[in-house]
Structures are given as C-alpha cells and as structure tokens.
Chains A and B, each alone.
Chain A
Amino acid sequence: MSEQTLKRVDLIFGEYSSEKYKVLANTLHRSNEEILKDLLESGLRGRGGAGFPTAMKWKFTAETPGDEKYVICNADEGEPGTFKDREILSRVPRKVFSGMAICGKVIGARKGYMYLRGEYRFMLPELQKELDIYHEHAKNLGLNFPIEIRMGSGAYICGEESALFESMEGGRGEPRNKPPYPTTSGFMKKPTVINNVETFVNVLMIMRLGPEQYKKLGTTDSRGSKVFSVSGDTPIPGIYELELGMSLDRFVDEFGDGDTKAVQVGGASGFCVPRKKFKDTIIGFEGVPTGGSMMIFNSSRSMYNVLHNYLEFFEEESCGQCTPCRVGCQQLRKGIEAVKKGEKKALYLDQLMKLSESMKLTAKCGLGQSVANSFSSIVNNFKEEMIY
C-alpha cells in the first residue's frame, strides 16, 4: 500500500532567505502579541521530546514580571540515537540565533545563551564565527540581544532544563524541584525560556511562512515537520526531515532493511515498538513522540542486550540525587541480569515492572521517570528474550 515515499520536507534545512537575517529583521517590526498569536496559531510544540506548546511557554515567561530574563537554547543533545541538532547547528546556525532573538524580543530578555553539548566542542570555532556575524547584524538592526555559547561537560542529565541551569550557574548538574518552573525561576532564578535547537528554527520558519502555510504540514496534534536521526539496521542511516504524523510501518518500509523487528522511538528514554504494532503507531504527540531518535533493530538483535545497554546508560547518567532513579536503575539492570542467568525466577520481571512504574511516579525529573518507558515496552514485548 505504501508505494509512495514519505514526504521529504525542507523547512529546517531549507535555504536561507536571500538576505542575511532578513526574517529576523522583518519580525522585529512586528508586535509581540502578533508574534505570539502566530506561534499559537501554528500549533508548534517543543522539539526536545516533551512537546510543551512553545507559544504558552513564551507567553508565561513574558507575563512574569522582571527586568532580567533569559533565553536559553538547549543544545545539549545527549539522547542516545539523536544527532539532528548537530546537523542543524552546522548547517543553519543563523536560523537558530534568529529564533532565539525573536524569543528575546517577545519575553523581554536581554541575553541569550546556547548550552552546547560537551562532545560538540569541535563545532565551537565555526559556531562562534557565525555568532560574530549574528552580532554584527544585530547591531545594524539596533537589536540588543547578545548570545553566548556555554559548553557542557558531558553529562546527559544536564540536558534536563533545571540541571542545565545548575550547570550554567557553576553548580553540580542536578535537577531542581518543580515548581517553580523556568518560566518564573530559571537561569539565575530569573524567568527563562529554554527551548530545543530545532524549536527555535521552527519559530523562524513560522515567522517566514506564516502559521497557515506551516500548519499545512503534520496533523492536528503534531504540526509541522520534524528532523529525525535514523540509525541502526537501516541501509540509509542519517538525518531526515519528515512530516509529523506518519505511521511507523510507512517509516519502516522506507528506512528498514526488510527484516525490522522493532523500532526504538525517542531514544533510550523513549518507547520500543515491536513489528506487530508498527501499523497502529503514529509518530507524533498523539502517538509516540520523539525528540528525533529512531533506532531500527532487525531480527539479529537481542532486545535483552538493547535494554541492558540502555539501563547501563541510565545507571551511569543518573545524577544520583533521588532514590528511585539512582537505585532503581541499578536494580533494573542487575535484575534483568539475574533473570537471564536464572538466579531469579522469571516472575521477578513482574516485580521489576512494578518498580519501574514506581520510578515513573516518584522520580524527581524526567530522566528517572522515563526509564520505565523503554523498560516496560521492551520487557512487555520481548519477554521471552529477557528470560531465555
């Protein structure tokens, strides 16, 4: 049935406007209300994975009183299997800076930061060059919104927004209690908008195309396109910009190697979808959301090994402050080992499922809460691989 190929989109990586920073220049003339209205109309939701409506985030922050506010671009791309921000930053950095500057105007921030993943240090010289060009143009536009790049140090947890603030403030990368949310108390305890790299680019494209045209892409719940990082057992790994709302079986038809057994959607903290559910799985906020990572596994892969690998990752990358995450990850990893070795009965998996549910309910931040996603989806769908 799916003869036709998935629609490729060229929004994010599409060509720049003919003039440098033209869209930004045009947007600066518009009122904040108009910009927010367009954003709301566009239905844009954050591209980091959680999918919070961008217009609301900006609006709340704009409404919080205060002279000192910040815009932060979360470029701490650490989710296993995600590498799309790297591509965006190396190909269209100007769009990212423009999006940040528009946000600065809307919320009344005078400073922006980009928190760049520690492993992306190699990109720093090029980005800095682009940033200098941005600053020049900003000056010509009479825009007082400097952007500074801060380097991460290689901790996955620092991609969590409040841990990112802690890290930027010089503290240990540990998530904070919420509330208060960043919209009222973020970086330096000031109202802050923090968005993913791709989100800022989407903002710029909405400004360029208008919400009506932008909305033509995607579904009601998932407007626009998404940049996917496709990896694993696929003949064509890479970065693809696709319309949101496709079904997983169409995706697998196009990217799989003909022997696909499962797709891990959304990285280690996402969900594992087995072949039998491909057809009913929509990629988008109404189905399985993803920050971009699509890992394809064929029948040669042991899902036990896949899960074990993820759990080892979480065990090490947990910040360690809250009990469910710190100890829970260790118990899950050791637990599946014990079942595999026959040291624990297969029924112990049920105990571990309950534990993962408790982790989801009680962990302090998204890291600990999302371990259960991959754990339960892999164990439920590939139980025999866990036991035998």
Chain B
Amino acid sequence: MAKQINLTIDGIAITVDEGTTILEAARKLNIHIPTLCYHEDLCVAGNCRVCVVEQEKVKNLPASCAMPVSEGMVIHTNSMKVRLARKHIVELLLSEHNADCTKCYKNGNCELQGLASQMLTGDHLFLDLVPEKNYTIDMFNTAIIKDDSRCIRCQRCVRTCEELQSVSALGVAYKGDKMKISTFFEHSLFEVVCTNCGQCVNRCPTGALIERNYIDQVWDAIYDPGKHVVVQTAPAVRVALGEALGLPHGKIVTGKMVAALRRLGFSSVLDTDFTADLTIIEEGHELLTRLKKALVDKDPTVALPMATSCSPGWIKFIEHTFPEYLPNLSTCKSPQQMFGALAKTYYAQKRKLDPRNVVSVSIMPCTAKKFEANRPEMRSSGFKDVDYVLTTRELAIMIKQAGLEFDELPEEKYDSFMGASTGAAVIFGSTGGVMEAALRTAYEIVTGREVPFDGLNIIPVRGTEGEVREATIKIEKVKPEWSFLEGVELKCAVANGLAHAKTVMQNVKDGKVNYHFIEIMACPGGCLGGGGQPIPTSPEIRSKRKMAIYQEDMGMPIRKSHENPEIAEIYKEFLEKPLGHKSHELLHTHYTPRKRY
C-alpha cells in the first residue's frame, strides 16, 4: 500500500495515497477545480494555470494538477487570491482568443466558454490582442480544420499526437508572444504526417481543432428531389450518439438513431455493419489464402503478418511510417468504402437507380473517414464511392437542427437490403472486434465448427487500452481441404492507438515477433474512442461504450458474419464469390507509400 498523506482542502480533512495531486484529492471530495490543459488521457502539462490553488505558508499559488500532496498541506481552492488569479488567467486567455463565439463551430461545447461564463468575464479586464496576431486558419484538409485564432496553447493536441498516437504532426513552434501550435514547416495538415485520426479534435477544449463539417451539403442532397440519399451508420456510432443528445454514456441508441435518420429525410437508412460482415468474408478468405501461399506453396513473397485495413488513420500512418509494410495490409477496403462502392453499383442496380443520382452518406465515429472518402483510390464504382462523411457529432447537430426529441423517438429497424448485420459486425467498433469477428468466421470455414470459446466470446483477443494484446489460437481437426492448417497455432496481435501500433510494427520489423494476423485501430479503445465521437472522452466513457458494444453483440440473433443472409444474397446475385473478380474491382484496393515529410 502506498504511503498515506493527510491534508486539508477547504477545511475538509482527507487522506490519500502519496503521489496523488491536489486536483485528484479535491475531486475525491467533490470539489471541482476548473482545468483547461489537464486531460485524463494525457501527461500533466501544468501550463494553463487555471487550476491554481492557495497553499497555506507557501508564497505562490501552485497548479493543483501538477502539485503532489504533502503531509499537513492546507489548501484553499476558492480563496480571494485564487479567485482573482484564476479570473486573470481566463481573461488573459480570452484576450488572445478569437472570442467571436457565434461564428465558432464549438459554440456551446467549449471549455473556455464555460469557464468564461462561470467567471463573469463580461467586463473584459484587459486589451484585445487578437487584431495584431495574424492568426492563420488551415482549411486545406478534407478532415480537420485548424484555426489558430481559437487556440489557447494548452498543448492537449500536441500531447495527444505525440503520446497517444506517436505521430507528432502537431508541435509547438516559436516562443513568447509568437508561440503557436504548428506543423512541420507550418504546412497544412493535409501535407504532413497527420493521420486525420481526430484524437486532437476530441481533446481540444476550444474550436481550434474541429472536423470539416459537411452538414449543409448533406441537407442540400436530402432536399434535392432528384437525389436518392443513402446513409450508412458505423457500429460505434450507435453506442455514443446518445451522449451528444443528453443521454448517458454508452447507451445503445440503434433504433432511435435509425428513426432519426429516417425523419431527417434520408431515402434509405442502411448499416455499415453489413459491409463489416462482408469485410470479414473477404478478409477471412484473404488471410486463409495468404496462409496457404506461405505454408503450402512456400511462396516467399507472401506478406505476413497480414494487418487489418479498416482504420483509415492507421492506413495513413503505415503509409508514412512503415511504407515497406504496405503489402502486409489486407487489400480489403474499409467497410465504409465497400459500402460506398456497392451503393453506387449493386444497390443502384437493384433499386433501378441511376448511380449518378445516388448520394452516399456515412455516419462515422471518425474524422479520418472523411479523408478516406476523398482518396483517389476510392472511386471504383466510377463515382466517388462515399460522397459525404459525417461524424457522430455532426449527426447530433442535424438531429438538433431538425428539432427531433431524440429520446422520445421510437425504435426502428434498418432498411433492407444492405441493412442486415450480425454481432460480429457490431464489435468492429471496439478494439479486438475485427480480429474476433474474423476468427469466428475463419475458424468455422476451416474446421466446420464454431470457435471453441464460450458463447462465441473470444475474450483473449478483446483488446484493452494502453496495451498490445497477443493471443494464439490453435487450429485442430480441420476439414480436408484445409489440411495444411492442421495443428497450426495462429498468432494474433491486437493494438489500439497508434503509439501501440508503432510498437507492434517495430517489433515485426525487428523480427522480435512472429504474428500471422494483426488488428490495428488508430484510436484508443478502437472506433468507439474515434476522433468523430462526442466530446468529452475519457477512459471511463470509452469503457462504457465498449460494454455497450459487446452487449449489442450478445443481443444480436446472428453473431457470425458468414451467417448474415444478405451476405449470402449479395454473393449469389452480384459478387459471385469471395475474392472474385467483382470483389477485386469494387472491394479491394492498394495504397502507396508516403514520405515522413
């Protein structure tokens, strides 16, 4: 047990473990000290100074987020000295900040705005510094907009990019009054190593980093009578959308979301889960084909381990950081892009629509999906496969704009076809989910039996935040055509967050590990912690979303991708067979190396 420290905060005695900060100790007492640069997911910076408190017998006011408790400390969190200093700090931040809130995308969801209203900053104590600042706005990126005029230099984004994602696209440049958050040579985010994962957007306390929103374009499409607007929803959206609409964290709102989308006027409400199932079929066969080439044909060129390709942040990361491993990526497009390609081919044919009039919209927990949809590789239908990508947050805004009382909506079902899905597809939203779904199917293809795990729950591959999960699945008693896999121990690794992805890939590169299959999701916790999810985010919030996802899986009547009836149908009617000619044309792709700078 850690050493116990006794202290007093606002007259209340408390005993905490040694190493606890004043801020943490105060929170235990339900005393809320305001913060800006502090974030549960990140290392302590102690640079905004909003959380200062008064410590008796100490001259200065320590930052409570960075100051560990010590024996006999007497702390005042709301003394006269503290109140004035804190107000000064918020006023200083505002004086440097473009506080034209009504023009800001984060209006109403801004931590600085919240503090300003708490502290009654209406009298503007200091001079406005904004006019002479020459702030720049980076609008060139298709996914993320960076507006320096809204930035308060808390460096949450910098720490996110470096610590959680090991990307370091964002860094601090210059000093003093010119200090700013910038990129390599101040290039646009479009031109640097940024993966568009949006984790910085999730953690930005103000409107300095936001997604590029396509809300108006989508409304225009909906209102256009000549357009047939198809919408698909990703698995992780249904467990988080409610948060942005006033419901508790991790509440499953699938049915209400479908109802809301229908009321917004989408022509057809479909499910990305359908193509998640399709991904499993294609990717599962791809893995088995690679294994056969390696084990039977002894083909030295076959790239193993095979890595998943569903996460567009991860794709851009590997393009920049480990380009020599691009052949190891599954050639499968992400479920979003498979859906888009099918929406303008199979779906259009079946509904007798001119694909030119089909607008395909996706609702994603992700900002990188916006970039992905705009990739030149993603036009195999002859059109832009996905026209507009909206984040969970943007959908919540549309629902509010339409005046829908979300919680009062009935539970509705997805349209058919391309609306049916399985539990295997739902878990794509969590780290380890793609791996688990793939194993449920691949194991059964090879052995004719279900995976040997209680209730199909392959707990060993369910990833955890902050670690690389490794698992070995032994394949036994296989069907005759898969005899080469008899006794093979399939080695898998699951990683979430690009920092861990980097560790895995570096281990592969150094020959320290010998995996067959790697699942990587760019965001902490997987898509449920995606950069397009409701703000705020924290380990606790993500764990609630994760529980919801597995609960949704358990509640599905069908829990294996290959048993999705619409999947059988699409192969019969359109694709013919997994990895067939049509599949290759529409559902698979290749990526190209990018430089670090």
Contact = CB atoms under 8 A, between A and B. Distances in A.
A71 interface: no
Interface string A316-330: 111111111011111
Most buried by B among A174, A177, A329: A177
Interface in B531-560: none
Contact of B177 (A316, A323, A358, A364): A316
Interface residues of A, number: 38
A326 B89 CA distance: 11
B85 A362 contact: yes
Given A320-B172, A327-B129, A361-B52, A354 B63 contact: no
Tell me the interface secondary structure of chain B in the complex: loop
A351 B125 contact: yes
Interface of B: 44-50, 52, 59-61, 63, 66-68, 81, 84-85, 88-89, 92-93, 95-96, 125-127, 129, 152-153, 155, 172, 174-179
B133 to A, nearest CB: 10
A139 interface: no
A321 B153 contact: yes
A127 interface: no
A143 interface: no
Tell me the interface secondary structure of chain A in the complex: helix
A99 B197 CA distance: 52
Contact of B47 (A328, A358, A360, A364): A364
Interface of A: 155, 157, 172-174, 177, 179, 314-324, 326-331, 334-335, 338, 344, 351, 354-355, 358, 360-364, 369
B179 A326 contact: yes
A328 B52 CA distance: 16
A355 B127 contact: no
B84 A369 contact: no
A358 B88 contact: yes
Contact of B127 (A331, A362, A363): A331
B61 A362 contact: yes
A317 B66 contact: no
Contact of B176 (A179, A317, A361): A317
Nearest to A360: B60
Contacts of A177: 44, 46, 63, 66-67
Contacts of A179: 67-68
15 contacts: A179-B68, A316-B175, A316-B178, A318-B175, A318-B177, A320-B174, A320-B177, A321-B155, A322-B46, A326-B176, A326-B177, A334-B129, A358-B84, A362-B88, A364-B63
Contacts, number: 119
Nearest to A155: B175
Given A320-B176, A321-B47, A323-B92, A362 B60 contact: yes
Contacts of B61: 361-362
A321 B81 contact: no
B60 A329 contact: no
Nearest to B84: A358
Contacts of A328: 92
Given A331-B129, A335-B127, A364-B46, A317 B85 contact: no
A178 to B, nearest CB: 9
Contact of A172 (B60, B66, B84, B172): B172
Contacts of A369: 60
B127 A327 contact: no
Contacts of B45: 321
A361 B175 contact: no
B47 A323 contact: yes
A167 to B, nearest CB: 12
A329 B176 contact: yes
B88 A324 contact: yes
Nearest to A332: B126
Nearest to A322: B47
Most buried by B among A315, A316, A358: A358
Leading 4 A-B pairs by shortest Cβ distance: A320-B179, A327-B92, A177-B66, A358-B88
A354 B59 CA distance: 16
B89 A323 contact: yes
A320 B178 contact: yes
Contact of A319 (B50, B89, B175): B175
B19 to A, nearest CB: 11
A157 B176 CA distance: 10
B55 to A, nearest CB: 11
B92 A324 contact: yes
Given A177-B44, A321-B179, A323-B152, 11 more contacts: A155-B175, A320-B174, A321-B47, A321-B172, A323-B48, A323-B50, A323-B153, A331-B127, A361-B60, A362-B49, A369-B60
A319 B176 contact: yes
Nearest to B126: A331
B49 A364 contact: yes
Nearest to B59: A361
A155 B48 CA distance: 22
Contacts of A326: 96, 153, 176-177, 179
Given A319-B175, A326-B176, A327-B129, A361 B81 contact: yes
Contacts of A360: 60
A179 B153 CA distance: 23
A177 B118 CA distance: 27
Nearest to A361: B61
A314 B175 CA distance: 11
Given A358-B85, A362-B85, A318 B176 contact: yes
